[in-house]
Chains A and B, each alone.
Chain A
Amino acid sequence: MASVHESLYFNPMMTNGVVHANVFGIKDWVTPYKMALLVLLSELGRTGAQLGLLERRRLNRLLLPLLQGPDMPLSRLRKAIEESCPHLASSVHIRLKLMAEGELKDMEQFFDDLSDSFTGTEPEVHKTSVVGLFLRHMILAYNKLSFSQVYKLYTALQQYFQNDEKKSGTDESDMELTNTEELEGKMEKEELDVPLREEEISCSGPLSQKQAEYFLSQQASLLKNDETKALTPASLQKELNNLLKFNPDFAEAHYLSYLNSLRVQDVFSSTHSLLHYFDRLILTGAESKSNGDEGYGRSLRYAALNLAALHCRFGHYQQAELALQEAIRIAQESNDHVCLQHCLSWLYILEQKIFDSCVLLEHSVNKSLHFGLPYLASLGIQSLVQQRAFAGKAANKLMDALKDSDLLHWKHSLSELIDISIAQKTAIWRLYGRSTMALQQAQTLLSMNSLEAVNVGVQQNNTESFAVVLCHLAELHAEQGYFAAASEILKHLKERFPPNSQHAQLWMLFDQKIQFERAMNDGRYHIADSLVAGITALNSIEGVYRKAIVLKAQNQMSEAHKLLQKLLIHCQKIKNTEMVISVLLSIAELYWRSSCHTIALPVLLQALALSREYSLQYLASETVLNLAFSQLILGIPEQALNILHMAIEPVLAHGAVLDKGCAMFLVAKCQVASAASYTPQKKIEALESAILNLNEAKTYFAKVDCKEQLRDVLYFQARLFHTLGKTQERNKCAMLFRQLHQELPAHGVPLINAFK
């Protein structure tokens, strides 16, 4: 999850995690499209009084997106107007036609007349209204044009009109296509949802300023939220190069190119683009900022900070540290606390790569809150919670902290952080071994609607949070034996996060883990062994652990022991408590497999103490089961039964099906063992209840198709029936056992000794 937090790099198109569409500052130029709008406005002024109320309202709603949106072809504009008021559309068209097919003086006359709408005792347009501002902008821009520019504008208008004529003449089918899309109604929504169509993307000609801005902000937000929907790296780069060829001053394109290069892990071009962007930014900053040095000093700081981020992403931690130091120094010199906070967060991330420390992070959270940076503060809290959860801090406090930061998120509607928070809760509940809670959180996130303004229609984004939650969901299902459902979820993951995308590694690991578990259950160790390599590639610690488990299952005890010891030392060093406990359990199992129960006991007690301390409840119950088994073998089944009562409840409530089966089997064994000293009457009762428990265990094992365990249970049950003298049942069990026994190879460990 740590990499979620790395997304806190400074992004010029983003503040507090929200992508803004327009950060470039509008520069107004008269274009043919704008002239068409002007014609529309003047028509509206002329005939406005005759329009019906409904039409008026529809038109008014249409105007704003038209004024603010990118330039569009005349045909689309006409369609948009037609939907609101067909009558007006035709009159606009006629006037444009007159102007385009007439003479230059028609256009000049038109602009002369435009300013009339402001004059008079009761002007049609108020000077400071949106429309008024637009009109005045346009008139001003027009008046600024030189003679040749005016002529050029006129020829551009003619071309604009003729292109439309040509299109409507020849390509009727294409028109139809655009029609259906536009029939959906709301203009702005359609604009945002439908990814740029082929013609728009691959148009060799230049984009207009607005179009370019729109293109950039859209791609940037897609890169952040849903990589698969963005253009492929190659084609995006092509587009950007095209854009830069026509307008080398468009600095933001360099930034997008940097982000794009990051996608394909290209150090060289990403560094190049990043530095180029900031070189450009420094220029614009210096030009536009009135408050002296502040403008470009700021971008210098962020330039260094971004360079640090870049190096961190490529794993050059030493370089990143140097760059970060530089950023911090400059920020300190100019007293930029906001920048310093960003630096602090990055410093934390860097330190985390090297060694654990949460002092920095606490500082960061406090300061961020103080300077009113909710995004940064929440990220800090989340990192802190994550770290504390691993460090075994009290669960209620962590949940409290998450709840508090959730309040912040909802207040500022930071949807990305809300997603992360829920994903984190899922992970934490799973860590604590509360699968039902985890399941609930996962479902919450999945059924929540996205809050992002950019993606109103789309339900979810393809962010890391979703990948995490879906992976957990798959594993939870697999644990309960619903393998079909699990593989369905994984299939979905594969579709949403294609193998070469950013978060694909997550599901790859989970997929292999689930496959591994299945192979182990079925006793197909060679398959499990072949999966180990894949797991190791994605997570080395997990890989080593799995390797040890396979070795153990294949009865290569000494190798497994060696491996586990090494792993234990390593995990203790990096403080991966969860893994330490798992390893301890495996070691204990190795001991009791080699009949050294007395040695296993202290190991188990250590594991129990650890899991209690870190409140890893599920691991604790598992340890208790192991402990009980050892006690059983050591001949104190009463004691074993006693402690089993502690563990059985959480196991049945939250455990995997396999664990449930094992637990019930163990209970039955203990019951039988302790019944030895009972009176005959009580003994029969105890045996009967043991049989019931065994039945339950059997259903659990059957669910996960765990034949070996099933065979053991049947054997045990048959023996019990035999003792009770129920021949018929005994024979049935024996027959089932015989069937299974023929299917499976016999293995060396005596049946009664195996607990798992």
Chain B
Amino acid sequence: MAAAAAAGLGGSDFSDLREIKKQLLSVAERSRERGLQHSGKWASELAFALDPLPLSELPPPPALTEEDARDLDAYTLAKSYFDLKEYDRAAYFLRGCKSQKAYFLYMYSRYLSGEKKKDDETVDSLGPLEKGQVKNEALRELRVELSKKHKARELDGFGLYLYGVVLRKLDLVKEAIDVFVEAAHVLPLHWGAWLELCNLITDKEMLKFLSLPDTWMKEFFLAHIYTELQLIEEALQKYQSLIDAGFSKSTYIISQIAVAYHNIRDIDKALSIFNELRKQDPYRIENMDTFSNLLYVRSMKPELSYLAHNLCEIDKYRVETCCVIGNYYSLRSQHEKAALYFQRALKLNPRYLGAWTLMGHEYMEMKNTSAAIQAYRHAIEVNKRDYRAWYGLGQTYEILKMPFYCLYYYRRAHQLRPNDSRMLVALGECYEKLNQLVEAKKCYWRAYAVGDVEKMALVKLAKLHEQLNESEQAAQCYIKYIQDIYSCGEIVEHLEVSTAFRYLAQYYFKCKLWDEASACAQKCCAFNDTREEGKALLRQILQLRNQGETSSTDIAAPFFLPASLSANNTPTRRVSPLNLSSVTP
């Protein structure tokens, strides 16, 4: 059957959607038979997105072999025990079964029993040092048995997957990758193997050197791993082509796209997609934590509250639910409660990375720096590449007034997200505090060049230039800043805009460019805090003008508006490598 399916896949084209649907339905069935719920769910979800098949084309139930028939009774009994989470019991009745299906279930229940016991053990160990020692005792035996079968080439796609999982749990990453790749070749339809592979691949280089089966499943895999590796552009492209191929109704793809937009901080797009997703799949809990993060960033209290209550009704003991509720409380500034819910999320799943970081943020809000550091450190332990945790650590030390110390953490965060302006601005601020103005300038400029989210880098840069008496550069920065703000169409912060105009007015006044100076001074009058200064300046300009020659009457359009953004206003400095003098890591 597996061989037939593999042969039918033939290439990564999506021309025959019916065939694809058939394959999906059959693999969903086969995954369920083996207790692989998640892969089954994934396949069925995808199958659901495709048009229904007529009766005649429905895939036949998998044919039973002689061996299957022999093991049928034991299998049926064991499967029901397995579904009831009585793994040891299931394994007991399956011993000696020869058919592939029964054998897989036998091994899988032994593995799961070991995992379950491990989790239970963690709660009551004998001492602090034993905490980390609790391990799945069954793993070693499983590995020995599976490797024997593997050598004899007796494992099917599912068996290979299980073997890979065992290897990964034993920290044998290299071997595990090989086995998963093999599993993907033998049974490309099994999403679980692909997903495990995603978790093991840490960079683009590794991906390049994998020899993957050339099937349509590979497209899904690539899209997924691009998202994981923060290669958002590529991921979005892949997903778009999948949608074009006919999977437009798949909630899986929609959610992945939303997550991708979230990762590149395109909040509006992500929000609209998530809203769409919730319309299609109102009882969905997966990915809702990401959705709540977006709502949080936008401070959309009512929406977040609705989401939290809704999810709580569906299932309150889910990690995502706890996370959403935590976010909700955090937005309402009830940080203790928020921390409590994040803790609950971690109790439900200790490997749930996001909650550690979020909890760190909550502790930060509560000014409990040591607990925050603890939480962030945990997050880093789970995933070293979690830039938010590194950034959070940096912030914590910044709050503790240790600007030099936090440089290291910001730099780590910056390494992980080289194009994120927030880390660069934070780095710049630290350098500024340390009076390393040259470095600070580099950081701010870089932050502007990579696309500043908070639009503060330019103002800070301008102020630095001001400090260093580099008035021309300062003026340039302020001009760019004002252009930036106006091109956005919204005025973010009045205060900074007014300071910019005030500086420009004075600058032009000094340069004796009366027209520009008076234009800026007039702008100043529009703001409360600079009104008086603006007026005074206008008066002075008038006086000086009267003394001097009569000015030309034609007043051009204000130079600072985007309309007059001429070619010579573009930055002369290109983005160069951020060459900070500090040699430290």
Contacts and interface: CB of A to CB of B under 8 A. Distances in A.
Interface of A: 27, 29-31, 145-146, 148-149, 152-153, 156, 205-209, 212, 245-250, 267-268, 271-272, 275-276, 279-280, 282-283, 285-286, 296, 300, 303-304, 307, 311, 316, 318-319, 322-323, 325-326, 329-330
Given A30-B126, A149-B126, A206 B133 contact: yes
Contact of B402 (A27, A31, A153, A300): A300
Contacts of B402: 300, 303-304, 326, 330
Contact of A326 (B377, B404, B581): B404
A37 B397 CA distance: 47
B347 interface: no
A279 B131 CA distance: 20
Contacts of B133: 205-206, 246
Contact of A307 (B370, B405, B436): B405
Contact of A311 (B128, B131, B581, B584): B584
Interface string B426-447: 0000000010100000000000
Given A280-B377, A319-B584, A206 B129 contact: yes
B377 A276 contact: yes
A325 B582 CA distance: 16
A326 B370 contact: no
Nearest to B374: A283
Which 5 A-B pairs have CB atoms at the shortest separation, nearest pair first? A286-B370, A29-B127, A246-B132, A268-B585, A322-B404
Nearest to A152: B126
Nearest to A29: B127
A29 B585 contact: no
A303 B132 contact: no
B534 interface: no
A283 B373 contact: yes
A249 B128 contact: yes
B127 A27 contact: yes
B371 A209 contact: no
Nearest to B370: A286
B583 interface: yes
Contacts, number: 100
B370 A282 contact: yes
Contact of B584 (A212, A303, A316): A316
A146 B381 CA distance: 29
Contacts of B371: 286
A520 B583 CA distance: 43
22 contacts: A149-B125, A153-B126, A212-B129, A246-B129, A247-B132, A249-B128, A268-B585, A271-B408, A271-B584, A275-B408, A276-B377, A279-B377, A280-B377, A282-B370, A286-B371, A296-B370, A303-B405, A304-B405, A307-B404, A326-B402, A326-B403, A330-B402
Contacts of A319: 404, 582-584
Contacts of A31: 126-127
Given A30-B126, A323-B405, 6 more contacts: A31-B127, A246-B132, A283-B373, A286-B370, A304-B405, A319-B583
Contacts of A323: 404-405
Contacts of A267: 583-585
Interface of B: 124-133, 369-371, 373-374, 377, 381, 393, 400-405, 408-409, 434, 436, 581-585
Nearest to A283: B374
B330 to A, nearest CB: 22
Contacts of A329: 401
A322 B401 CA distance: 13
A205 B135 CA distance: 11
B339 to A, nearest CB: 15
Given A247-B129, A319-B584, A148 B124 contact: yes
A31 B374 CA distance: 29
A272 B585 contact: yes
B440 to A, nearest CB: 13
B116 to A, nearest CB: 14
B400 A27 contact: no
Contacts of A272: 585
B57 to A, nearest CB: 53
A196 to B, nearest CB: 17
Contacts of A207: 129
A247 B373 contact: no
Contacts of A303: 402, 405
A149 B122 CA distance: 11
Contacts of A283: 370, 373-374, 377
A247 B585 CA distance: 26
A148 B124 CA distance: 8
Contact of A209 (B127, B405, B434, B582): B127
Contacts of B585: 267-268, 271-272
A663 to B, nearest CB: 52
Contact of B128 (A153, A247, A318): A247
A463 to B, nearest CB: 29
A29 B584 CA distance: 42
A97 to B, nearest CB: 22
B28 to A, nearest CB: 38
A329 B434 CA distance: 12
Contacts of A209: 127-129
A29 B130 CA distance: 11
B132 A245 contact: yes
Nearest to A211: B129
Nearest to A244: B132
Contacts of A205: 133
A323 B434 CA distance: 10
Contacts of B581: 318
A152 B381 CA distance: 29
Contact of B124 (A149, A208, A307, A318): A149
A637 to B, nearest CB: 62
- Among B125, B381, B402, B434, chain A packs the most CB atoms within 10 A around the CB of B402
Given A27-B127, A307-B405, A279 B132 contact: no
A249 B374 CA distance: 10
B408 to A, nearest CB: 6
